[in-house]
Structure 1
Amino acid sequence: MNEKPSTAKIALKWGAIAGVTTIIYQTILFVTGLNRNQSLGYVTLVFTIGGLYLALAEYKRENGGYLSIGEGVGLGVLAATIMGILSATYSIIYMTYVDPTIMQQGMEIARQQMEDQGNMTDDQIDQAMEISQKFSSPGILFLVSVIWSVLSGAILSLIIAAILRREPVDPFSR
């Protein structure tokens, strides 16, 4: 009977690689001031998809060419969690210690966007900004980032696992 490859080892490897890649990209965005451009933020999705695909492909290769959807989703969620923890930790450290003005800049941009839409009164905008301020604490931002990473990782892993899936004809042959 063949031994199954270690999902933890593979998830740690590819989660760390994708997480560090995301951190490097975030640093470039922060330093250049391009972090305000929301469309550039979607590039991290490419790193996430790439990391998940490579993790699932490695598992499949080490598992004799077989990968079930359940194995893929489990591995992907674990890898996405590692990516999310690394990326969120870095973001919190950067926003708290390296450049604490980033949060304030984001709040000012949000206020300006609400004012530009013109469908809210000044009191409503002030109230929305107060609520946003409460949810901008490092702990809440960390938690939301990790939860988002896990949920998006689960969805993306499901899709990737469905594409890469290959189960043995005889389930007892492994």
Structure 2
Amino acid sequence: MNEQAIMHEPAVTPSSVGIRYGVITAFISIIFSLILYVTGLHTNKGLSYASMIIPIIGIVLAYNYFKKENGGFMSYGQGLGTGTIVTAVSGVLSGLFTYIYLKFVDPNVLEQIRNSSIEEMENKGMSDEQIEQAVSMTEKFTTPEMMLVMGLIGAVILGFFLSLIIAAIMKRSRPEFE
């Protein structure tokens, strides 16, 4: 192999960076979730939506690290792969934490979420029949097992779409002729 070809081998790969930053992102997400559960703020929709910032930061940090280790360059495909892996790893680890927490540590959280949803529907003026119908539908999806599955699927899909956008913004292709 000539010296020119060796210079273009990436110092790190999308999968190695994705796994590394996926674990870091999961750790931060788990700490944030734990704080919400312990303080009883897990029913606060605003804080729940704020948790969406964590994977965005994880993806951006992963891209910055990838570029730093690869001479400042990252193709769109490398970014898309890295970001998707970050969120998939983070989703698996965070999902497992949520499952364990809701199943074994504090199963009452699901009841609190249910009661908060009922109160919200009452405030919207929904009838008892409508509320009962909505509750029976949502109870099928609010078991720890379903929350794990839906969380994993959601993390991968959200991560893929976030990565599509963030990679397009942060990519820096290597010049064709060096």
Fold match, TM over 0.5?
yes
Counterparts of 1:168 and 1:91, CA distance in 2:
41
The answer to whether the aligner puts 1:33 opposite 2:51 as a matched pair is: no
CA drift at 1:117: 1.1
Partner of 2:117: 110
Matched, 1:91 2:98: yes
Please tell me the root mean square deviation across aligned C-alpha atoms, in Å.
1.5
Is the partner of 1:147 in helix, strand or coil? Answer: helix
For residues 115 and 40 of structure 2, what CA distance do their matches in structure 1 show?
A: 15
**SS of residue matched to 1:169:** coil
TM (normalized to structure 2)?
0.89
What is the DSSP-based 3-state SS (H/G/I as helix, E as strand, rest coil) of the residue aligned with 1:20?
helix
Aligned to 1:79: 86
Distance, in Å, in 1 between the alignment partners of 2:23 and 2:86 is 8
Contact 2:14 2:79 in 1 (8 A): no
Offset of 1:45 from its aligned partner? 2.1
Please give the alpha-carbon distance, in whole angstroms, between the structure 2 residues aligned to 1:139 and 1:94: 12
**Deviations, residues 85-123 of structure 1 (Å, cap 9, x unaligned):** 1111111111111110110111111111112211x3212
Q: Which residue number corresponds to residue 15 of structure 2?
A: 8
- Paired position in structure 2 for 1:101: 108
For structure 1, the residue ranges without an aligned partner over 5 or more in a row are none
- Indicate yes or no: 2:169 matched with 1:163: yes
Which amino acid in the other structure matches residue 57 of structure 2? G
Report the counterpart of residue 154 of structure 2 in structure 1: 148
C-alpha distance in 1 between matches for 2:65 and 2:167: 12
Supply the distance in 1 between the matched residues of 2:22 and 2:116 (Cα, whole angstroms): 32
Moved more, 105-114 or 60-69: 60-69
User: Deviations 1:108-140 (Å, cap 9, x if unpaired)?
Assistant: 11111112211x321221111111111112222
Q: Provide the rounded CA distance (Å) in 1 between the counterparts of 2:124 and 2:133.
A: 16
Aligned residues between the structures: 171
> How far is the alpha carbon of 1:27 from its aligned partner?
0.8
The one-letter amino acid paired with 2:134 is A
Aligned AA (2:97):
Y
- C-alpha separation between the residues in 2 aligned to 1:125 and 1:46? 31
Other structure's SS at 1:124 match: helix
CA distance in 1, matches of 2:136, 2:53: 33
Q: Which moved more, 1:22-31 or 1:34-43?
A: 34-43
TM-score, normalized by length of structure 1? 0.91
Task: Please report how far the alpha carbon of residue 43 of structure 1 lies from its aligned counterpart in structure 2 after TM superposition.
Answer: 2.9
CA distance in 2, matches of 1:115, 1:46: 30
C-alpha separation in 1, matches of 2:40 and 2:110: 13
In structure 1, what is the Cα distance between the partners aligned to 2:56 and 2:140? Answer: 31
Unaligned runs of 5+ in 2: none
**Paired position in structure 1 for 2:140:** 134
